[in-house]
Amino acid sequence: MNKVALITGITGQDGSYLAELLLEKGYKVHGLIRRASSYNTVRIDSALNSSEHLHLHYGDLSDSTNLIRLVKEIQPDEIYNLGAMSHVAVSFESPEYVADIDGMGTMRLLEAIRINGLEKKTRFYQASTSELYGEVREIPQKETTPFHPRSPYAVAKMYAYWITVNYRESYGMYACNGILFNHESPRRGETFVTRKITRSLANISQGLESQLELGNMDALRDWGHAKDYVRMQWMMLQQKVADDFVIATGKQISVREFVRMSALEAGISLVFTGEGVDEVATVSAVDRDKAPAVSVGDIIVKVNPKFFRPAEVETLLGDPTKAKQKLGWVPEITVEEMCQEMVQSDMSIAKQHMLLKSHGFDVSISLES
Ligand code: NDP
Ligand code: GDR
């Protein structure tokens, strides 16, 4: 019998990779999608076109009756709760919404399992986050490191973390938290910093954009690849006993270093000068084949305080020892390889746009991020 999984957030970065992984493993996969005014399934279109075992259902984590009905109809063996308003900076703009979806939404889904009497059947994965550590109390951060969330997003995720633990302890449910550090890919949303950087530098290299504006370039993150991390989400639900795990690479670099690495991949060498809001990155050498629109001396990166956050998480570095020892999980893709893949993917999109432009088509690039 095929196992049956329900994924919330299936249209997002992780949801799309996880759906592909589960389909490869022979699962029947059900995904919760939100009705939008335009198509929002671009990341899962190829899976939808190639598999008859992928089914989508309209719904929302704010809608209890919808969740209860779907869980009743689908009778899932596994639920992966990846759905969330996942942008930390945006959560300062909409704290009530993020509490409702990221916090209460998790409880609604756990209740849907319980109301349908599926506590002993349905295993539950909660997408927890390194943002729980926020103002870090210990370096590196592991499962026992105290939490100190620094944004409405992280505070909402803290409720979700503990309600997941609570349902495990109260009702004997197989419910676990993956405390995942930042993970990226060519499918990463364009407003998260890595993708913003790779996309913008690719556009600059081809002449579609002239400058990349960033916030805090000193921020340090432990960046891994989403494909490695969704494999881990599945592994966590295949254990004998439910448990919580930190998933990270154990290495960190700054936003500035990610800019430098991405620029080199796009054929641009950069020199950083100035400090704080006055910091800029100037082109010191250029590979003209790769970056025809860029010249030595161009200032192509600068700081815009509008991207600073009311409270910042300065440094995150995970210790994945428990996941390595108990689950045998080892990340396979390095940050350098991931950066190359992201830049190459964005360069190929930028070149397609330039080709269209050269044939007179109107190519408008959204720059609001
Ligand atoms: P994305 O932002 O790419 O995807 C979020 C998903 O949630 C989308 O499918 C989105 O739908 C859906 N969603 C948003 N609001 C609702 C709602 N009200 N009801 C139902 N679904 C909703 O996130 P990622 O794939 O990067 O992350 C997956 C999860 O993991 C998130 O919970 C995130 O907070 C968490 N996480 C992510 C990390 C990372 O580095 N990527 C690290 C740690 C945790 P739509 O497409 O319609 O917007
Ligand atoms: P993060 O990711 O907040 O860690 O949350 P993001 O890529 O948004 O920021 C990482 C760091 O870069 C700094 N930064 C900028 N960030 C953005 N988005 N835009 C900028 O212009 C910019 N300039 C500098 C930020 O200040 C921050 O320090 C991600 C999300 O996927 C969460 O859902 C997840 O829980 C955590 O990772 C782990």
Per residue in 180-211, pLDDT tens?
999 999 999 999 999 999 999 999 999 999 99
Annotation marks residue 312 as catalytic: no
- Residue nearest atom 28 of ligand 2, based on CA coordinates: 219
pTM of the model: 0.98
Euclidean distance between CA atoms 344 and 324, whole angstroms: 30
Euclidean distance between CA atoms 255 and 310, whole angstroms: 18
Judge whether residue 153 has pLDDT over 90.
Answer: yes
Q: 17, 80, 125, 153: which is the annotated catalytic residue?
A: 153
**Mean pLDDT calculated for residue range 100-122:** 98
229: closest CA among 47, 21, 14? 14
Annotation marks residue 129 as catalytic: yes
Whether 252 is in the pocket of ligand 2, judged by its Cβ within 6 Å, is no
Per residue in 199-258, pLDDT tens?
999 999 999 999 999 999 999 999 999 999 999 999 999 999 999 999 999 999 999 999
Q: What is the DSSP string of 59-80?
A: --TT-HHHHHHHHHHH--SEEE
- Residue nearest atom 10 of ligand 2, based on CA coordinates: 193
Annotation marks residue 131 as catalytic: yes
Q: What is the DSSP string of 142-172?
A: -TTSPP---SHHHHHHHHHHHHHHHHHHHH-
Per residue in 38-67, pLDDT tens?
999 999 999 999 999 999 999 999 999 999
Whether 309 is in the pocket of ligand 2, judged by its Cβ within 6 Å, is yes
- Name the residue of 17, 88, 92, 218 whose CB sits within 8 Å of the most ligand 2 atoms, as the mutation to test its pocket: 88
For the chain, the straight-line distance linking the first and the last C-alpha, in angstroms and rounded, comes to 45
Centre of ligand 2 from the C-alpha of residue 229, in Å: 17
Ligand with an atom nearest the CA of residue 8: 1
Confidence band, pLDDT 50/70/90 cuts, at residue 1: confident
